[in-house]
């Protein structure tokens, strides 16, 4: 698979990366050996870039897949939601231990929102110090917000940014308001002009755009501003589908079978705002015992009306 340099980091990554979130306990909860086999299949086919996070609880899949040293060339990116110095340093040490790597290639502040650049200043200083100490090679942030992506362009110490971008603009925010794919693309261009590496997330909008598979990939892989596109995988067939697409073997009318996919609300992300509940035409979304949104699958039409209105991209489909 074609590779590109990730901004000015000197790190070379494949055009597509492997996002491990779907196989983890918050979604498919695959057995470790099964998930590791999917990872090895993707690596054997040519992908060299893996994205994970402390929050995903997916380190065992990666460690198992990489055991034996056959994949030393793989670029690993992890992230942490920690907002203080000690917490971020501990997150880096955890990644080193759990992934059996002395150096983590890329480490990010995870899902930065407006106001958090100041609130998480201690965590950011920890990343700067970890890079200086040789614990990580490149540092940056992931975000769903246009305004944070714009700010990243001006952060001198930042190497890479991992923004949400898809053709429908699902999940993209500016402050407390919704924003568009064009808004995010303009912010991404500012990052590129500043020499930052950029790789994109959520090309399928958390699964809501999977029924428009080729349209979603056409958009993401047409953007020269992205050094890589991170795709979440939970099956070997999904890896093979991507390679069929990238290598031009896919029939033009092909879309994956999504008939068995269901809509879920990620409980870790949900803020209980009620936007999805109000948008649901079938009355399938209700408040659970924790005061957060959940889905009654006996009522759900999988119409997708809930996904665009969620302010924190808690609506997912798998």
Domains in the chain and their CATH numbers? 3-246 (3.20.20.100), 263-317 (3.30.70.20)
* pLDDT at position 126: 98
* pLDDT at position 260: 85
CB 118, CB 85: distance < 8 Å: no
Give the torsion through C-alpha atoms of 53, 56, 61, 63, to 10 deg.
30
Strands 75-80 and 104-109 turn out to be parallel
Closest CA to 150 of 84, 118, 196: 196
- The model's pLDDT over 136-145, given as tens digits with 9 standing for 90+, comes to 999 999 999 9
| Sequence-distant (≥ 6) Cβ neighbours of residue 245 within 8 angstroms | 213, 214, 217
How far does CA 258 lie from the centroid of its chain?
A: 21
- The model's pLDDT over 83-106, given as tens digits with 9 standing for 90+, comes to 999 999 999 999 999 999 999 999
Instruction: Read off the tokens for 284.
Output: 């399938």
Residues of the chain scoring pLDDT < 50: none
* pLDDT at position 303: 82
| CA 28 to each of CA 234, 261, 300: distance values in angstroms, whole numbers, following the listed order | 7, 11, 19
* pLDDT at position 305: 82
Closest CA to 57 of 28, 86, 34: 28
Helices marked H in 100-158: 116-119, 121-132, 146-153
Strands 315-317 and 263-265 turn out to be antiparallel
* pLDDT at position 24: 94
* pLDDT at position 244: 98
* pLDDT at position 145: 96
C-alpha atoms less than 13 angstroms from C-alpha of 194 in its C-beta half-sphere: 21
């Amino acid at each position: 698979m074609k590779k590109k340099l990730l901004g000015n980091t000197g790190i070379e990554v494949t055009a597509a990366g492997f996002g491990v979130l779907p196989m983890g306990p918050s979604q498919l909860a695959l057995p470790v050996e099964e998930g590791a086999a999917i990872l090895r299949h993707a690596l054997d086919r040519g992908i060299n870039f893996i994205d994970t996070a402390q929050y995903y609880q997916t380190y065992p899949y990666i460690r198992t897949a990489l055991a034996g040293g056959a994949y030393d060339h793989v670029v690993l990116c992890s992230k942490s939601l920690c907002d203080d110095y000690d917490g971020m340093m501990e997150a880096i040490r955890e990644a080193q231990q759990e992934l059996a790597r002395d150096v983590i290639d890329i480490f990010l502040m995870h899902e930065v929102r407006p106001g958090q650049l100041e609130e998480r200043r201690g965590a950011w200083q920890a990343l700067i110090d970890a890079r200086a100490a040789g614990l990580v090679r490149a540092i940056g942030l992931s975000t769903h917000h246009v305004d944070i992506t714009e700010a990243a362009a001006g952060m001198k110490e930042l190497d890479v940014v991992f923004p949400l971008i898809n053709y429908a603009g699902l999940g993209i925010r500016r402050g407390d308001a919704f924003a568009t794919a064009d808004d995010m693309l303009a912010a991404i261009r500012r990052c590129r002009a500043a020499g930052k590496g950029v790789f994109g997330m959520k090309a399928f909008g958390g699964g809501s755009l999977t029924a428009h598979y080729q349209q979603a990939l056409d958009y993401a892989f047409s953007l020269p501003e992205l050094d890589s596109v991170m795709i979440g995988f939970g099956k070997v067939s999904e890896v093979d589908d991507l390679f069929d697409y990238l290598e031009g073997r896919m029939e033009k009318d092909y879309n994956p079978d999504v008939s068995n996919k269901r809509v879920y609300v990620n409980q870790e992300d949900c803020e209980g705002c009620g936007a999805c509940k109000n948008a649901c035409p079938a009355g399938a979304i209700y408040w659970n015992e924790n005061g957060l949104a959940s889905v009654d699958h006996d009522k759900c039409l999988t119409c997708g009306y809930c996904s665009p209105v969620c302010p924190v991209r808690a609506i997912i489909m798998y």
